[in-house]
Amino acid sequence: MGAAGSIAAVVFGIFWTIMAFVITQDSPFPMVGTIFPLFGVVFVIIGIAQGVYHYKNATGKERMSLYDITDASEEGDPLNRKYGGERAAGKPTRTEAAGEKAFCPYCGQRVQADYQYCPGCGKKV
């Protein structure tokens, strides 16, 4: 949603709060005049928080992105560093090192090392 969505949420929240106070000022139920406008305040808070998040993400060195547009050597993934999910790309696993194909990468069925096609899904392994 980005910056435009944050601005729209804040403007909508302010508009909602003002209109809710005007509409509910003569309400026979006093709680309605309090609760109904609070939804606008929630929109304003969410819009401000989202705007701060997007600003820090856009101007920060390590940005979070849905698409990898940079190489891992240029800019790493901050979530991998935070949760320790980095894996050595050059180091093969035990089955890859032995030349075995233990499972089909498409359907997950066990295959033998000399199989070229998966007996379950028929795709080349």
Tell me: the pLDDT tens digits for 69-115?
Answer: 666 666 666 666 667 654 555 555 544 445 555 788 888 888 888 88
Structural domain spans, the chain: 1-87, 92-125
In this predicted structure, the answer to whether residue 48 has a pLDDT above a threshold of 80 is yes
Residue 2 tokens read as 């980005």
Q: Is the pLDDT of residue 10 over 80?
A: yes
Does the pLDDT value for residue 8 go beyond 80? yes
Q: What pLDDT is attached to residue 43?
A: 93
DSSP letters, 20-72, are HHHHHTT-SSTTHHHHHHHHHHHHHHHHHHHHHHHHHHHHSSS---SS--S-T
- pLDDT top residue among 39 and 82: 39
Contact 50, 5 (CB under 8 A): yes
Tell me what pLDDT residue 34 has.
83
- List C-alpha distances in Å: 121 to 19, 81, 103: 60, 36, 12
Give the C-alpha distances (Å, rounded to integers) separating 90 from 17, 87, 96. 56, 9, 11
